[in-house]
Amino acid sequence: MMKKSTEVLVIGGGVTGCGVFFDLAQRSFKTLLVERGALSNATSGRFHGLLHSGGRYAVKDADAARECIEENRILRKIMPHCTEDTGGLFVTTPFDSPEYADTFYQACQSVGIPVEEISIAEALRREPLLHPKSSRVFVVPDGSVESWEACQSLVDSAGEHGAEKLLYHEIIKILSSNGKISGAVAKNVITGEEVSIECHMIVNAAGAWGGRIGKMAGCDVTVHAGKGVMVGMNYRLVNTVVNRCGPASDGDIIVPVGSIAAIGTTSVNVPDADNYPIEEWEIKKMLDKGEEMIPSFKKFRALRAWAGVRPLYQEKAVGADLRKVTRAYALLDHQTRDGMDGMVTITGGKWTTYRLMAEHTVDLVCKKLNTPRPCQTATTVLKSAHDETPTHFTLGQRLKKVESGEWDGQIICECEIVTRPQIEARLAQSDRPIINDLRRDLRVGMGPCQGGFCSYRVAGIMHENKQLSVRQANKSMVDFLRERWKGMAPVLWGQHLRQMELDQGIYLGLLGLDKLPTELSGLDKERLGELNSEGYYELRIRNYELGITNP
């Protein structure tokens, strides 16, 4: 068994774990991060991408609102390349209570959130698709974030301080003796090899899976998995984050993300953080709610649906309404709480407050290891893999770089403007033939065609550059397309169904995807079987019966 030794082991490669990892490394701790998948593979990579101004919490949770606006300002400075300064609107639609608007405005002022009311005419000038019968509109400093880029920047910056990471490794055992943590055992989920890790301290930042890690150490960590479903549309319907001006509810926010727009979200308690199917009612509700903010919403094509699970921590029993559960974070010291020295858990909270959560977590680690070291993350600009001088993301910057000649070479993904040299550079830094990693790093396959016209090109480049066998290259393409299919299947109707029939013609008709030789046993016939013509027509019938498509 391979053996490693470190001072602090961080479990979880979401934004909280990556934030803790960087903070520890910057404070000169020898640190190792273990994540069972890719960075930001779970909850952090499965949300709508909102950089909170705090406006959403101003009325009911003043402390959370203050944290959000303070961290919002910090994140814009330390990771500009991961943020887009979209601004935000809180809109009183004809379906919202007009009385809430004054309460919202006063609450924002009291917690220090910059807020300004603008006329309906001005709001429609900025966002022409908004409901024209809206009665009140307020401007706040919301934004959008690229979570995968942020996590990669945190890990790259930690690496400059000598920190190490183990991706695609799952913790299978926590080692302890006489009430003291001594390490853990991780298993490579690709090869099956195990690694023994010796450490002085474990930070459990596994989010909705934190309870499993706690249980391995004999500690009771009750984290509720709150499923939230989102739908991505094929067009950037708004250039500003649009919120309903009312109490938090399902489908009350639209976020511009790259070349598309995402609407979210539901809030449903699920018993298993690894098993949370998307329900038909959730898709329909998102589209109906989108129509209330943008009357033409359903005329656009729904690209895909996805879901993430929020880690919601609350000591007492949780009822059916998860929106009543606090979004505050919890920092647990298992020595004082459970009699197990050497482990702390950080859970709950929001993406926007990850840095603050990490700071408080590492402060506790310093206290427990009796070595006070100051935090510097609020003033340190993170490393960017793309730009020496990071600037805020703008929608047209990729096209501008191609047209100016700054980015050269063949364009492989036209939707998101990703070039062959970019793909080859990323492949040179990785030993894993996983196209989904390139999707997270470069946004390959995330635009309106959902990989239909670029997947086979990327597989060919990977085959050539990584010297893969034909079977390995085919497996990479099949794996990627199956993951894309998961999100597209719930929204197959109308124009999107026609788009997928074109993709079916490319991948099954021309390329014979279901017959390609791969390293998969039987190509997982259950999943690939869903791609045949009969499956499409079954979906046509189902959607017609639901009343969400034409016959």
Q: pLDDT (tens digit, 9 = 90+) per residue, 5-25?
A: 999 999 999 999 999 999 999
* pLDDT at res. 528: 41
Under a CB-based contact definition with an 8 Å cutoff, are residues 173 and 216 in contact? yes
How crowded is residue 30: how many other Cβ atoms within 10 Å of its Cβ? 16
For residue 509, give the DSSP letter.
I
Which residues does 413 contact at the CB level (< 8 Å), separation at least 6? 442, 443, 444, 445, 447, 454, 458
Q: Which two tokens stand for residue 164?
A: 């190490």
Residue 382 near residue 388 (C-beta atoms within 8 A): no
The mean per-residue pLDDT over the stretch 57-72 comes to 95
Identify whether the C-beta of residue 420 lies closer than 8 Å to the C-beta of residue 409.
yes
Element (H, E) at 226: strand 223-233
Q: Measured at the alpha carbon of residue 32, what is the angle toward residues 26 and 35, in degrees to the nearest 5?
A: 120
Q: Are 242 and 124 in contact (CB under 8 A)?
A: no
Residue 255 backbone dihedrals phi, psi, to 5 degrees: -120, 125
Given its phi and psi angles, is residue 146 left (phi above 0), alpha (psi -120 to 50 degrees) or beta? beta
Q: Provide mean pLDDT across the span 23-52.
A: 95
SS (H, E, C) 300-369: CCEEEEEEEEEEEECCCCCCCCHHHCCCCEEEEEHHHHHCCECEEEEEECCHHHHHHHHHHHHHHHHHHC
- 163: helix, coil or strand? coil
Instruction: Tell me whether residue 506 is exposed, middle or buried, using C-beta atoms within 10 angstroms of its C-beta: 0 to 12, 13 to 18, 19 or more.
Output: middle
Q: How far is CA 96 from the centre of its chain?
A: 29
**pLDDT confidence bin for 533, thresholds 50/70/90:** very low
Give Cα 469 distance to the centre of its chain: 32
Please tell me the predicted confidence (pLDDT) of residue 135: 97
Cβ 345 vs Cβ 209: under 8 Å? no
- Within 92-171, residue ranges assigned H as helices are 100-111, 120-126, 147-159
Residue with tokens 């909280």: 16
| For residue 326, pLDDT beyond 60 | no
Confidence of residue 526 (pLDDT cuts 50, 70, 90): very low
* pLDDT given at position 315: 67
CA–CA gap between residue 492 and residue 170 (Å, rounded): 34
- Give 162-195 pLDDT, tens digit per residue: 999 999 999 999 999 999 999 999 999 989 999 9
In angstroms, the first-to-last Cα distance of the chain is 59
Sheet holding 143-145, edge to edge: 50-51, 143-145, 83-84
Which class is 83-143+227-309 in CATH? alpha beta
Q: Report the mean per-residue pLDDT for the chain.
A: 89
Q: Report, in angstroms and rounded to the nearest whole number, the Rg of the chain calculated over CA atoms.
A: 23
Task: Report phi then psi at 412, rounded to 5.
Answer: -95, -45
The residue ranking higher by pLDDT, 400 or 524, is 400
Residue 134 confidence (pLDDT) above 80:
yes
The more confident residue out of 329 and 7 is 7
174: CB partners within 8 A, 6+ apart: 181, 183, 184, 202, 213, 216, 217, 343
User: Can you tell me the distance from the alpha carbon of 245 to that of 126, in angstroms, rounded to the nearest whole number?
Assistant: 17
How far apart, in whole angstroms, are the C-alpha atoms of residue 165 and residue 473?
Answer: 26
Average pLDDT in the 94-115 region? Answer: 97
Domain ranges of the chain: 83-143+227-309, 397-546
pLDDT tens digit string along 414-446? 999 999 999 999 999 888 889 999 998 899 998
Q: What is the DSSP string of 377-441?
A: TTTPPPP-SS-SS-----TTHHHHHHHTTSS-S-EEETTTTEEHHHHHHHHHT-S---HHHHHHH
231 forms beta bridges with 263, 305
What pLDDT is recorded for position 282?
94
Structure tokens at 290: 């989108």
User: Cβ(506)–Cβ(460) under 8 Å?
Assistant: no
